[in-house]
Chain A
Amino acid sequence: MTIRTGLKSLIAAAAAGLALLATAHADDIKIGEINSYSGLPQFTDPYRKGWQLAIDEINAKGGVDGKTLVVVSKDDGGKPADAVTAANELVSNEGVALLAGTFFSNVGLAVADFAAQKKVLFVAGEPLTDAVTWSKGNRYTFRLRPSNYVQAAMLAEEAAKLPAKKWATIAPNYEYGQSAVSVFKKLLSAKRPDIEWVAEQWPPQGKIDAGAVLEAIDAAKPDAILNVEFGPDLVKLVREGNTRGTFQNRSVVSFLTGEPEYLDPLKSETPDGWIVTGYPWSDIKMPEHDAFLKAYQDKYHDYPRLGSVVGYSLMKGIAAILTKASSTDTDKMIAAAEGVSFDTPFAPVTFRAIDHQSTMGAFVGKTALRDGKGVMVDSVYHKGADYLPSDDEVKKLRPRN
């Protein structure tokens, strides 16, 4: 973090700008990619590195049917309306075969709706809201990451094993936080009818008043806390809670905290023994992941974040769809995508035909402090397929086209 790295990135930015000027060949396949590069760089920088690595690997092996994959990437600035502009540019001007990417749930939904309107295939990477594949699901949209529901189900399973009876929740006051809490509550209460929900706090995202929130929680004397805060709010909450001792003698279950994007800034503040979902990149023993980790570190001299895995897997999935379809016709690609299996650093996954959700899973483990840094220990990979609701339920959740 010095001035020099700053200058380096400036030069890299200029180079990237020049690279954009290079045009694609006629027999390339263009993929339109949209993400919040300027709004959320801590996730999207590693994410971009991930998909670049995947594209390089795919093209080095001859591309898809001899055609080179070219990604045209656009920034949405974190705004749904700007994402629709970018999607429009990619489809109308660049003539991309399909759309991919997005981070925020509302951006993902806006692009999904655009895709349905314009009849273009859209493979969403990150957006976590269940609505993308269920209540607002459409024929043209697929999603890679395990949704809110799946992560809640994994965490609720662990939480049910705890002796804790009185639970409190802290979540950011917007759709992501609300649905995470409501699904977790529903699933945990179903498994453990003896549980009591004693307090809830809903600080606005990015503006948590950590001391006041923690004392309000503490006053209800819960045995366990569910946390859905992430990013700068999480850092503030954890340091304040460590000082005040709010987490002492309490179990904490926390969404996403094991992802390097959110765990690394905690450094020596990393709490011990929180049950979290995340990405323990240094401890994973999977041959697919070993290969990915080596390739990533060789190319970038940096370790991957979860964003890297999402970006990498996203392009692998798209390549699999294109290979199976042998065409860039939207209907053929959709037919191919339904049920297609592809390799990711977390073992092969499938895009389900029933709701277009991939079966990608997540690691559940515990946080720990090692050499002044936060790590995830005792982590186990849970397959997404094992936590999705039954087909009958999914059919009810998804509108008929």
Chain B
Amino acid sequence: MQLLVVQFLSGLASAASLFLVASGLSLIFGVTRIVNFAHGAFFMIGAYLAFTLTDEFSGPLGFWGGMALAAILVGLLGGLFEILLLRRIYRAPELFQLLATFGATLVVQDLVLLIWGPEDLLAPRAPGLAGAVEVLGKRVPSYDLFLIVLGPVVLALLWLLLHRTRWGVLVRAATQDRDMVAALGVNQKWLFTGVFALGTFLAGLGGALEAPREAADHTMDLRIIVEIFVVVVIGGLGSIEGAFVAAILVSLLNAFGILILPKISLVLVFLLMAVVLVIRPWGLFGKKEGAARISGGATASVWKPLDRDGRLVALIFVAAAALAPLALGPYGLAVATEIAIFVLFAASLHLLVSVGGLASFGHAAFLGLGCYGAALTVKALGLPMLPALVAGPVLAALGAAVIGWFAVSLSGVYAAMLTLAFAQILWSIAFQWVPVTGGDNGLLGVWPSPWAATASHLYWLTLTLVVVAVTGLRAIIFSPFGYALRATRDSDLRSEAIGIDRRRVQWRAFVIAGAGAGLAGALFAFLKGSVFPDTMGVSTSIDGLVMVLLGGVETVSGPIVGAIVYKLLSIWLVSHTDYSKLVLGLVIIGLVLIFPKGIAGSLRLRRLRRGVAAREKAPA
């Protein structure tokens, strides 16, 4: 009994800070539809600022004033970020803003290190709340009790703000139907800025309140960002009450779960999210989104297969790539091989995201399954490289069949988050199933067969398979199946009306994309010689999305351009500077501003404007 009460209180205290941060994210998504990946970065800045301010100003006033000031500063920073960056790209395709917030996250990680140094920083204990209170003979930190009270208070204040002020009415209206709000003459610009500032203020407050409980360090943004996305999705996007309930649910389940299964916390939130989404596709408190008013989906321009010129260019490009071993040494070829592998990875994700309109935050799962499929074929079955190159994609396709089966019954960000949940569950299996996968020490010694062992042979093999696979994916896009897939993306209703079985078509797309990523994974295993769980981690999935977005969602060739640019840039930067994240983040933000439709998308637009379009349309 005593233990249950204390665990209950611990759970509630953890829920409070989780709720603060998650509510901000939910608000921002609800109104602006931005998947704000930088939310964790704002949380982290809040914690660091709180450390500096409470360290600088002592005494109760200094401490609590410092906390408030930290949160306000973060809110201002958030507003500024929205005005300077996000405002310029609202018209960009869906999810494109994710790219900008991802860039900002990278920049903040390195800036925090430069400003505050590498050491973990723990803020002082809260004056007046430094000690503990006896509850049933157990000592419970008084700061925890303060947080337990604060959570509902913030919820109530937010409720009042949203329900009792005109601004709140507008925010709720925009959450339900932002086109209508705009049509009614509301200045969306300042509404969005205000919501973004409020959301980041809450993130900053959450970070500041954590500063006396845990040390600020430069990785805390990534540690929290996935968890709060999960909380927001479980609660229902845009729902503050949902975020509150979900935060409590997650925290209590964790507090009690570890009493029975001490290793459960690794996957608990993802298991919970998967279960919730399968039962309630829009989260606990979410509502079904209204059908998109603008039909035509993400793509305004018509896709066409390559014409004769285009094919010639592609042929020249492939021929030039095939001659690379004449110019490059073993290292250059290894880099080229890695880039080719990620071209396939990005192209397979593109089939889901751009062609099928199915955002996926867990595409790394298929890359990882391909890696493990290949590695286990070599290590456990003792078979050579070729069967392993088959086993990788087969395992990945099987995984995609299962994940896709669940994901296609959801839509939008919910589907994306379900793929993330499955990817994390697979990751934790790879991480925990030590006898088979080797756990985080991985599987070693997965090197190519002798005939493919030299850098140039492995490169040619990879290039051949990647060119065949990418050409195949392209052919699929322009096949009847591809048209059906694009139809389901552009209009669910209309495609259904002409007899397209949406779920079946999208499910097949999942299996195809999974197999493509699996082949990339199998090749990756042989390139690196070893396989580790981090291949299927969140950051690899995000990398894939960044490649697709960078290239341009609305194009057919975008992922190829995006993968080459992003991979080349990140390998070069990691090798040449200690602040690769700072530079990479700035470059991404720069590219977002210069190419608001992705690199390939913007170049294509420019080409069209120059009148090349006219020639293309002329009969040959």
Contacts and interface: CB of A to CB of B under 8 A. Distances in A.
Given A201-B258, A265-B121, A212 B10 contact: yes
Contacts of B329: 92-93
A211 B335 contact: no
Interface string A83-107: 0111011011100000000000110
A5 B117 contact: yes
Interface stretch (A109-117, A285-293, A327-335, A351-359): A109-117
Contacts of A178: 434, 439
Chain A contact residues: helix, strand, loop or mixed: helix
A236 B116 CA distance: 19
Given A13-B577, A38-B580, A244-B141, A106 B330 contact: no
Contacts of A86: 574-575
Interface string A9-32: 110010011001000000000000
A239 interface: yes
A42 B119 contact: yes
B615 interface: no
Contacts of A129: 441
Nearest to A236: B214
A39 B534 CA distance: 14
Contact of B122 (A38, A106, A212, A265): A265
Nearest to A116: B445
A200 B258 CA distance: 10
Given A93-B329, A110-B530, A235 B113 contact: no
Contact of B141 (A41, A202, A211): A211
Most interface-central of A45, A80, A92, A235 (chain B CB within 10 A): A80
B372 to A, nearest CB: 14
Contacts of B259: 216, 219
Interface residues of B, number: 81
B23 interface: no
Interface in B67-105: none
A240 B141 contact: yes
Nearest to B254: A209
B115 A3 contact: yes
Nearest to A7: B114
Nearest to B130: A243
B331 A92 contact: yes
A93 B331 contact: yes
Contact of B447 (A6, A117, A243, A265): A117
Contacts of B117: 1, 5, 9
A339 interface: no
Given A175-B434, A215-B7, 8 more contacts: A75-B580, A106-B532, A174-B440, A206-B219, A209-B14, A216-B7, A244-B141, A266-B122
24 contacts: A1-B52, A10-B114, A13-B577, A37-B578, A38-B580, A41-B118, A81-B524, A81-B534, A84-B530, A109-B442, A114-B530, A173-B263, A173-B266, A178-B439, A202-B263, A204-B265, A207-B223, A236-B213, A239-B213, A240-B213, A243-B143, A244-B140, A244-B141, A265-B120
Interface of B: 3, 6-7, 10-11, 13-14, 52, 110, 113-122, 125, 130-132, 138-141, 143-144, 213-215, 217-220, 223, 227, 251, 254-255, 258-259, 262-263, 265-266, 329-332, 334-335, 338, 431-432, 434, 439-442, 444-445, 447, 455, 524, 528-530, 532, 534-535, 571, 574-581
